[in-house]
Amino acid sequence: MCLLVFAWHAHPDYPLVLAGNRDEFYTRRTRPAAWWGQAVSLLAGRDEEAGGTWFGITRRGRLAALTNVRAPSERNPHAPSRGALVLAALQTQERVDRWIERHSQRTPLFNGFNLLAGDIMPTESEPAGALHYYSNRLDTPTRALAPGVYGLSNAFLDTPWPKVTRAVAQFACSIANRVRMDDLLALMGDRELARDIELPSTGVPLDWERQLSSIQIRANGYGTRATTALTVRADGLVTLVERSFDVSEPEHWSDRHFEFMIDTASRPARLKAPGSN
């Protein structure tokens, strides 16, 4: 993913509401969201060139998503695929924070990334569920997120890039009224460019900074390939819609809709937010 906005235990009916855009070169081969494998326990898109994914969720309620850290001068073309980290986080039986800690010495081998992962519903090891944030370009341990609304792009969590602050504001207003998939998909389609004075300096040419400053990107040979909207209701009902844009005609799109119950969810009338009594 290249832009994520999400509400973690910030809505009375949904422990998680999330919307995200995946931006990529149109020539990179990918598959849309689908259930993987014979056990069909993992729902994710697939990067056909490296074999990993950018976003996924399992039937037991484990979620993982990754954004790249934009730092072209630091990019190692021989680094391992970051998409493999998302798969590993989804498939491990360990708590996410313990898994990251155990592998933290290896993460500098990857190009810069932000990883968002955790168990949305209560588990034996996480009685209230937990969502963790980690970046291999920050000298800080894994962070368990407090209830709130967050934005993440190609810097670090809540870095106030124009697209992040605009998306978070629109997202927060939208879900304060009601949570609707159409609204989440629509807000991620905003193509307004930031003013030059607002642009970050990330090491790419100014014209690229401009093109990359919108929530939904349409540039020469590069742009938003898919938008994902996800809700997890307090009873464990997961609804996911992925809107895929045609690489030859990006104005054309198709939607894939999934709905399932989290297998391991204990289903109280209201979930307690992490840290509450």
pLDDT, tens only, 1-18: 899 999 999 999 999 999
pLDDT given for residue 270 in this prediction: 43
**Spatial distance between the Cα atoms of 152 and 5, rounded to a whole number of angstroms:** 6
Structure tokens belonging to residue 186: 């629509």
Give residues with Cβ within 8 angstroms of 203, minimum separation 6.
70, 71, 72, 73
Structure tokens at 108: 């500098």
The number of residues making up the chain comes to 277
| Domains, the chain, with CATH or none | 3-261 (3.60.60.10)
Angle subtended at Cα 11 by Cα 185 and Cα 217, rounded to the nearest 5 degrees: 25
What is the token pair recorded at 168? 């978070």
Burial of 30 (0-12, 13-18, 19+ CB in 10 A): middle
Asked whether the predicted pLDDT for residue 260 surpasses 60, the reply is: yes
* Cα-Cα end-to-end distance for the chain: 34
97, 132 Cβ separation under 8 angstroms: yes
- Residue 37 has, within 13 A of its CA and on its CB side, a CA count of 10
Instruction: Say which residue the tokens 């969590």 belong to.
Output: 157
Query: Please, what is the Cα angle at 238 between 182 and 188, to 5 degrees?
Result: 30
Task: Assign 37 a pLDDT band (cuts: 50, 70, 90).
Answer: confident
For residue 68, pLDDT beyond 60: yes
CA distance linking residue 61 with residue 218, whole number of Å: 33
Residue carrying structure tokens 């800690």:
101
The more confidently predicted of residues 206 and 127 is 206
Across residues 62-84, what is the average pLDDT?
Answer: 96
User: Cα separation of 184 and 272, whole Å?
Assistant: 25
Structure tokens at 210: 């401009």
Q: What share of the chain is helix, strand, coil (3-state, %, to 5)?
A: 20, 35, 45
Instruction: Tell me the C-alpha distance between 188 and 206, whole Å.
Output: 23
Would you say 129 and 119 are in contact if contact means Cβ atoms under 8 Å apart?
yes
Give the rounded percent of residues in the chain with a pLDDT score beyond 70: 94
Q: For 199-251, what is each residue's pLDDT tens digit?
A: 999 999 999 999 999 999 999 899 999 999 999 999 999 999 999 999 888 88
d(CA 70, CA 226): 19
173-185: b (≥16 Cβ within 10 Å) or e:
ebbeeebebebbb
In which band, very low, low, confident or very high, does the pLDDT at 275 lie, cut at 50, 70 and 90? Answer: low
4's tokens = 């994520």
- CA–CA separation, 174 and 14 (whole Å): 14
